[in-house]
Structure 1
Amino acid sequence: MLEVNDDNDNDNDDGNNISNGNNISNDNNVTPDSDSTTVNANVNANANANANNIIDNNNNGSSVTEAIFNFTNSIVGAGCIGLGGAIALSGGIISIVLVLFFAVLTKLSLDLIIRLSIQQNSTTSSSSTTTTAAAATKTASYEDLAEAGMGYWKGRVLVMACKFSYSFGCLVAYIVVIKDNCGPALRGLLFSKDDDDDNHGGDGVTEWIYQFLSMKSLVTWFVSLVFILPLCLLRDMTPLAFASFISVASMVTIVGIVIYIYFECPDVRTESTGKFYENWIEIRPGVLSNLGTFIFTFVSQHTVHLVFGSLKPPLKTVKNFKIISSISILAAATVSLLVGVFVYITFWQDTKSDIFEIYPQGWMIDTAKLLLCITMVFTFPLPFFTCRELLILVVIHPICEIGRISSGNDDVNVNANDADTGNTTGMEIVEEDDNENNCLTNLQRPLLLPEEAPEPENATDTTTSTSTATVTSINADNTDTDINDIDVDDNIHTSTISATPTKNWLLPDDDRQLRLPGHVGITFQLWLVVTALAIAAPNLGDILDLTGCASGTLIAFVIPALLSFYIEGYNHLAMVLFAVGGVIGTVGTFYSINQLVRDL
């Protein structure tokens, strides 16, 4: 469906957009005084109907409470488990201060991102004749917001690269936790530690189970295949609300077990070799290499739009999201500090990045290990959805010829799948004047039907691969208008692409989701690569530090600050985010790489 921009005020100001007036004519002799008024009325009515239909179809979604569980689940994870080791290497008080500082800063950054997204949507909706549904999806993701604020290369590409690397690092870290804990936990719960290696119940099946649970790699593959892969095959996070509740409840239970062991099992505790100053006040050299772990504990900007987008439409407000972010960050900070501090005061400087490796075997610790693995399983799909979506945007969209047309500073998004469905949300056109090109060029979106559809009447010329059409606003029902006969003033600058047939791999109503065969294929391949790399990874601490410093600081602090500068201008919050993210990202990444090289 082709769209007409009827915003005459903006057209006159910019001097480069299509204006509805004497500049447009067609075979039906539409005049500004008569038929054009009817056409415009039809366009507006049709746009409002489409928007209302889309809103009605998406009335289902998460409540605020469900979103809180989902968001808390996406925050609390491997970073919480690695915090104890980071405190041991950094120092007591400085670690607690850094955890609280990054928690507050992350909450402010999350609120800033959502506020800027809603602000950009509101600006788009009020300054153009784009439908309400189209405006609502203009900044439906972090990369969309970055592109709207900073442009394609400086914004969108940078965010997509950072989101993918950080989300991918999270996925690897979650599998590493499962690898280190699942097999030993099940073996400890099912078999007595007093059993010798040659007798575990007498029969061959029991012996085979014991040997299987002793092989961490095989157990990891099995758990990942049977439990994680089916969850990854979901298309969105709304069905995960109950799973997120289980995950959060498991983490709370782990906190209770850690605290109980400290008070009720004194034989487990290690006597400290240092005094109060060494244990709490001293700032140790390891603080620089462990900054990434403190940041990793809270970074969730890569999933923030997934959580916000899962809300029911009436609940998508800045006020509601502030409630969600506040409670989620508070819950994550509380759980992380309780686990980290109590593990630290139990083992002091002997604390490791994967805390349960240092606890003696027992049913309580084995239960905590199993609950931790459950948490990782239910947390895994959230960053996985982000990685899969980015792969679709970067790899599948060009194959399906959902291209970008750039002319000077122009960025044009063309979704070929929306041409036949009447969906205008996939087409976004930004046009600017180009003094060097005062010529008329045309744009035609090729037809891409999920199934063969009847050809529009009196518009046969638009189905050929060599024909072109001007980007204008025409009612989809007005099929008797020949778009090839539309005349446009010579000072209008547009861009052209050839209308070659495209591969229909995407869902008709969602250009970020593949049809079932492609969805299963890309999900399986991404899952396979992540699991294989996690099994070969050295240890959890190195992954947390490098991922947190290298990409976590960018998507959590630096990029939100730059977006605020570009969209709103200078403000103190953005400067603090930029300074903290830039310094910690540079210094922390350097020390994290050095530590990783030494461990390898």
Structure 2
Amino acid sequence: MAPVNTRKEDTSISHLLPVKYLEDEQQYDGYNQASLASAVFNLSTSIVGAGIMGLPATMKTVGIIPGIVLIIFVGFLTNYTIDVLLQYTYECKATAYSGVMADSFGRVGRVLLQICIIINNFGLLVVYLIIIADVLSGSTISSVHHTGVLEEWGGGETWWNSRVVVMLFTTLFVLAPLVCIRHLDSLELSSAISVGLAVVFVVVTAAIFMYKLAFGTVSTPQLFPTFSADASAILGLFSVVPVLVTAFICHHTIHPVLNEMRNESDHKKVVQFSISLCTALYVMTSAFGYLLFGEDTLSDILSNFDADLGVPYGTVLSDIVRVGYALHLMLVYPVLNFSLRLNVDELVFPRAVPLTYDNRRFYLVTCCLTSAAFLGASFIPDIWDAFQFTGSTSAVCLGFVFPGAVVLRNRRHIFEGRGKKLLAWFLILLAAGASIMAITGDIYELFE
């Protein structure tokens, strides 16, 4: 379902948000110069993060046909939940996701949402830095060392390709300039490049698969899952649910992106184009990744590119994929940081002027968040496990639990009908099931 503008015709607001604060203490500075392309690239970048590399493994688990169907299904559910948020936004004239929750559930709802966004986004930023360091500097897991791209180029580990130096350089000279940008519209080019790098991964993977297919060196793919009574096999089937459910989470970025648009009539197009684009990317990445590596597909397909690909210029292609992925995460980082910064600021300074109007506060919050992410990634490498737990829980709350709760609360009486109520319950139960499955899988791996 596409978002529908349900506001009255006599409103004087020409964009999603009013410039003045509402009683729910939301922030908005009135900027509305973003184009359709800018909004699509920024929203798509918010969707396509690190999770894309885990999708090929879902095909290995459930088979190609069910995997494709599930990706498309979750895409439709995401479109519906965004539609719910926008319908309610138009009705209550909220300026942010937090405004929707405040109107429905009061201050408690607003604070709960902000805490979930902070946990989800900050966790992702730390994980992105860890992945960037792993890709460029290498990593050692269970006594097995995965060589980084810079390690290969430098002929081994040196001071300039060490993890701390790589993360420090990336933070100071790549991320810092990007996170200091005050409007998402200014990230149009970087977001376009980020989406382009995801496309490059699909093209390279597809090209390698076609080459191997021509020489008959690919295995027959599994179209449907094979069932087994083994506990690990059952948990394996369930493990794809949290991966897929969290793959499209972008709800915390919807309002910041759409607020900046020149034409409110384009909101519907932005959501549809972005979700359609990301669905296509997910399907192609999953399918070609699994078709290329077959039963050897790892939970993070990037690890498959550490080995010999068995094609001409395999090392070059492997480096293109890995460097492209690291750059992709660097360009996703500022988009997630944007909504993180807004919510941290609203939580800590609820009555202050919009953040873009206060230079001192803007740079203080930005520096604190960037420094905290760097320190977390540098000195607490095991933090990944903690964020797997909190991230899966907070992400599904943002994408499914809160929109479902807004429908059930129905304070503005715009979600009438039994069908909408049932779908809202389905969203909440799906989110709860995904979290339970993710937590159960993590616990099982610890004691396996």
Give the structure-1-normalised TM-score.
0.60
Give ranges in structure 1 of 5+ residues lacking alignment: 1-50, 122-138, 198-209, 403-505
**Secondary structure at 2:354 match in 1:** strand
Q: Secondary structure at the match of 1:570?
A: coil
- How far the C-alpha of 1:259 sits from its partner, in A, is 0.7
Aligned match of 1:243 = 190
- Partners of 2:363 and 2:253 lie apart in 1 by 21
Stretches of structure 2 lacking an aligned partner (at least 5 in a row): 1-17, 22-28, 138-147, 228-232, 309-314
Q: How many angstroms apart in 2 are the aligned matches of 1:549 and 1:230?
A: 29
C-alpha deviations, 1:59-87, integer Å up to 9, x for none?
A: 65101121111111111121111212233
* Map 1:197-212 → 2, pairs under 5 A: 211-212=158-159
> Which structure carries more relative contact order (alpha carbon 8 Å, separation 6+)?
2
Query: Could you tell me which of 305, 316, 322 is aligned with 1:369?
Result: 322
SS in structure 2 at match of 1:290: helix
1:268 and 1:177 map into 2 onto residues whose CA distance is 34
Contact (CA 8 Å) 1:292, 1:544: kept in 2 or not?
no
Q: Given the superposition, is the C-alpha separation of residues 544 and 354 from structure 1 closer, same or farther in structure 2, using an over 3 Å criterion?
A: farther
* Per-residue deviation, 1:169: 3.0
Q: Give the percent of matched residue pairs that are identical in Structure 1 and Structure 2.
A: 23
Question: Structure 1 residues 291 and 343, CA, compared in 2 at 3 Å: closer, same or farther?
Answer: same
**Alpha-carbon distance change, 180 to 572 in structure 1, aligned in 2, over 3 angstroms:** farther
The C-alpha deviation readout for 1:403-461, integer Å capped at 9, x for no partner, is xxxxxxxxxxxxxxxxxxxxxxxxxxxxxxxxxxxxxxxxxxxxxxxxxxxxxxxxxxx
Matched ranges for 1:212-291 at <5 A: 212=159, 214-265=161-212, 272=219, 280-282=224-226, 285=234, 286-291=236-241
Matched, 1:518 2:364: no
User: Counterparts of 2:162 and 2:324 in 1: how far apart (Å)?
Assistant: 20
Q: SS at the partner of 1:347? A: helix
Provide the residue aligned with 2:25 in structure 1: none
Distance change in 2, residues 1:158/1:571 (3 Å): farther
1:224 touches 1:531 (CA, 8 Å); kept in 2?
Answer: yes
In 2, Cα distance between equivalents of 1:302 and 1:180: 27
Alignment of 1:28-43 (within 5 A): none
Deviates most, 238-247 or 87-96: 87-96
- 1:102·1:294 contact (CA, 8 Å) conserved in 2? yes
Q: Distance in 2 between matches of 1:224 and 1:572?
A: 50
Aligned to 1:145: 100
1:214, CA displacement in angstroms?
Answer: 5.0
Contact 1:87–1:340 (8 Å) recurs in 2: yes
> Using the alignment, how far apart are the partners of 1:575 and 1:349 within structure 2?
41
Structure 1 match to 2:86: 114
* One of 399, 415, 418 as aligned partner of 1:556: 399
More helix per residue = 2
Letter in 1 for 2:224: W
1:35-434 map, 5 Å: 58=30, 60-121=32-93, 139-153=94-108, 155-183=109-137, 184-188=148-152, 190=153, 211-212=158-159, 214-265=161-212, 272=219, 280-282=224-226, 285=234, 286-312=236-262, 315-317=263-265, 320-359=266-305, 360=307, 362-397=315-350, 402=351
The whole-number CA distance in structure 2 between the counterparts of 1:144 and 1:109 is 16
Name the CA distance, whole Å, in 2 between partners of 1:255 and 1:213. 31
Quote the offset at 1:585 in angstroms.
2.5
Per-residue deviation, 1:243: 1.0
- Structure 1 distance, partners of 2:47, 2:68, is 18
Tell me, in whole angstroms, the C-alpha distance in 1 between the residues paired with 2:324 and 2:396: 29
1:192-241 CA distance string (max 9 Å, x none): xxx6x5xxxxxxxxxxxx52465334323321232112211222211001
Report the Cα offset of residue 178 of structure 1: 1.2
Question: The residue matched to 2:252 in structure 1 has which SS?
Answer: coil
Q: What is aligned with 1:204?
A: none
CA distance in 1, matches of 2:20, 2:250: 32
Alpha-carbon shift at residue 332 of structure 1 (Å): 0.5
CA RMSD of superposed structures (Å): 3.1
8 Å contact 2:401–2:431 — kept in the other structure? Answer: no
Say whether the 8 Å CA contact 1:173–1:543 is kept in structure 2: no
Letter in 1 for 2:226: E
* TM superposition score normalised by structure 2: 0.79
Cα 1:549/1:217, change in 2 over 3 Å: same
- The 3 A distance-change label for structure 1 pair 157 and 349 is same
Distance 1:179 1:381, change over 3 A: same
Query: 1:338: Cα distance to partner?
Result: 1.0
Give yes or no for contact 1:69–1:245 (8 Å, CA) kept in 2.
Answer: yes
Say whether 1:585 aligns with 2:431. yes
Q: Is the 8 A contact 1:68 1:328 kept in 2?
A: yes
Find the counterpart in structure 1 of residue 12 from structure 2. none
Contact map agreement 2:54 2:299 (CA 8 A) in 1: yes
Q: How does 1:426-465 map to 2 (within 5 A)?
A: none
Q: Distance in 2 between matches of 1:105 and 1:116?
A: 17
1:141 shift after superposition: 0.4
Q: How many Å apart are 1:93 and its aligned residue?
A: 3.0
SS, match of residue 235 in structure 1: coil
Task: Describe the shift of the 1:113–1:522 C-alpha distance in structure 2 as closer, same or farther (beyond 3 A).
Answer: same
- Conserved in 1, the CA contact under 8 Å of 2:114 and 2:344? no
| CA 1:572–1:333: 2 relative to 1, 3 Å | farther
SS of the counterpart of 2:251? coil
d(CA) in 2 for partners of 1:85, 1:218: 32
Distance 1:382 1:52, change over 3 A: closer
The 1-side partners of 2:291 and 2:383 are apart by 22
